[in-house]
Amino acid sequence: MDFTVDKQTLDDLNIFGKQGGISIYNFFCSTYTKGGALLLEKMFRYPLADKDEINNRTDTIRFFQKNKITFPFNGQLFDIVDKYLQNTDVRSKLSNEEDTLKRKFRSAIGVENEYELLHKGVIAMIEIINSAKDFIHQIKKTASFKSYEEDVEKFEFIFKINNLDWTQKEKNKKHLRYPETAKYDRILRFEKNREMRILLELIFRLDVFISVGNISTTYGLTYAKATNNVDKKIEIKDLYHLNIKDPVKNDVSIGKNSNMIFLTGANMAGKSTLMKSIGIAVFLAHVGFPVPATAMEFCVQDGLFTTINLPDNMNVGYSHFYAEVLRVKKIAYEVAKEKKFLIIFDELFRGTNVKDAYDATVAILEAFAKREQSTFIISTHIIEAGETLMKKNDNIKFLYLPTKMEGEIPAYTYTLEEGITNDRHGMVIIRNEKILEILNEEKQLTYEFFNR
């Protein structure tokens, strides 16, 4: 069972960075190894949809963060080892018969490149195995490694099954003699190649856990708690957006009795940003990563669909309105599957006239609100639609982002309040840009021109 996210959503939330600015992926990607970065991307591509898996990953990251465990390997070793283990060409196998005087001579004058590479790979691999052994030894002394226990067992399984005791003997050696190199190379690269790769995968996972834990410390992120409690769908305390400096924090709470938030607010009051923050937090929580808030509890969802920057497709001849209709239709199909989706819709039906937008908003939202499994966050300018819905539906929660006028200048608090706002400051913005003055000024110029 997967967590469903589509391209529109990934773009809206800037998960992989199409819009410019710092993407969420780039924000978290500070791994020590290339393999770790790839694994991190894979985790982002496939968020989890299982409570235990999510909590397990969260606990693991928290464990490393709490115990301030640093990555115990030299990251450069993995570039060497990666190439080394991929070379499974049997012709490159070293054999004892080749340990001739001729080889020694070639080695002495430094032309035995192929052998040097293999030698380097063996040394690096031994260092990795030894460090891993030490590391696991340390971990087991720590009291609460329960969430990481599965990985620890896998590590130990590899250490045991391959009987890698000999690595201890070669610890910290910079040079190995030819017969040893040939023997170890055979074991590492051919006989136990698969196990060595599993070992690397385990280390890449460790890399992700530790580096994400570091990010969490640096930015003061929090771990979300996954539940299967449908009564409390999403509870976030002090939520904020990662890309904003000195952000204002908001509490968001969506439960069974209010599975829809109807959000209003003036232009630039922060509606889109708030919706993006919610989307990002829910997304990260399903990856099992820490979120930008002080506390979060959520019922595991089956998917996330946002519609924040919907492009109209003029080449196909779609108007903006029709693009919106098609997007709503797509989401309607998903919602009808009786699954738990979080649906975020910014400025629903802005591409049509007022009356249509009103009718459509009321009709669509009423139908959506009956789908109690799913959760909806909808923003719109059509406050009249909100007033109508308020009378008829009791499972819709009405929130707004206020604007306070300081003389001519609108000031935004970015703090959610309950209710519907009819703040409109479009004319204020136009007045502040002095457009009408610019045009009226010209009247005088024209007359001057004629009088001349």
Nearest-CA neighbor of 350 among 272, 254, 260, 430? Answer: 272
Nearer to another protein, 200 or 364 (CB): 364
Which residue, 217, 281, 215, is CA-closest to 247?
A: 281
445 binds another protein (CB under 8 A): yes
Q: Is residue 355 part of the contact set for another protein (CB under 8 A)?
A: yes
- Which string of x and - marks every residue 300-319 that binds another protein (by CB under 8 A)? ---------x--x-xx---x
Residues ≥6 apart with Cβ < 8 Å to 45: none
- Of the candidates 95, 113, 446, 451, which one interacts with another protein according to CB under 8 A? 446
Q: In sequence order, what DSSP letters do the residues of 41-85 get, joined into one string?
A: HHHHHS----HHHHHHHHHHHHHHHHTTPPP-S-THHHHHHHHHH
Which of 61, 266 has the CB closer to another protein? Answer: 266
Query: Which member of 83, 370, 392, 404 binds another protein (CB under 8 A)?
Result: 370
Residue with tokens 């991929």: 86
Q: 211 or 361, CB closer to another protein? A: 361
Distance CA 106, CA 100 (A): 10
- Check binding of 430 to another protein (CB under 8 A): yes
As a whole number of angstroms, the distance between CA 263 and CA 275 comes to: 9
Q: Please state, in angstroms and rounded to a whole number, the distance separating the CA atoms of residues 437 and 434.
A: 5
Q: Which stretch binds another protein (CB under 8 A): 32-40, 68-76, 221-229, 366-374?
A: 366-374
Q: Is 440 in the site for another protein (CB under 8 A)?
A: yes
User: For residues 293-303, b (16+ Cβ closer than 10 Å) or e, as one string?
Assistant: beebbbbbbbb
Cβ proximity to another protein: between 79 and 442 the closer is 442
Tell whether residue 426 is a contact of another protein (CB under 8 A).
yes
At a CB cut-off of 8 Å and minimum separation 6, what does 238 contact? 249, 250, 251, 293, 294, 295
335 touches another protein (CB under 8 A) = yes
**Residues binding another protein: what is the number (CB under 8 A)?**
63
Does 267 bind another protein (CB under 8 A)? Our answer is: yes
337 sits near another protein (criterion: CB under 8 A): yes
Distance (Å) of CA 369 to CA 38, 254, 322, 377, 420: 39, 13, 22, 11, 18
Kindly state whether residue 411 participates in binding another protein, applying the rule CB under 8 A.
no
Please state at what angle helix 271-287 crosses helix 51-66, rounded to 10 degrees: 90
Residue 73 found at the interface with another protein (CB under 8 A) = no
Residue placing its CB nearer to another protein in the complex, 340 or 371: 371
Site residues, another protein (CB under 8 A): 19-21, 267-268, 272, 309, 312, 314-315, 319-322, 325-326, 328-329, 332-333, 335-338, 347, 349-357, 359-360, 363-364, 367-368, 370-371, 381-383, 424-427, 429-430, 433-436, 438-443, 445-446
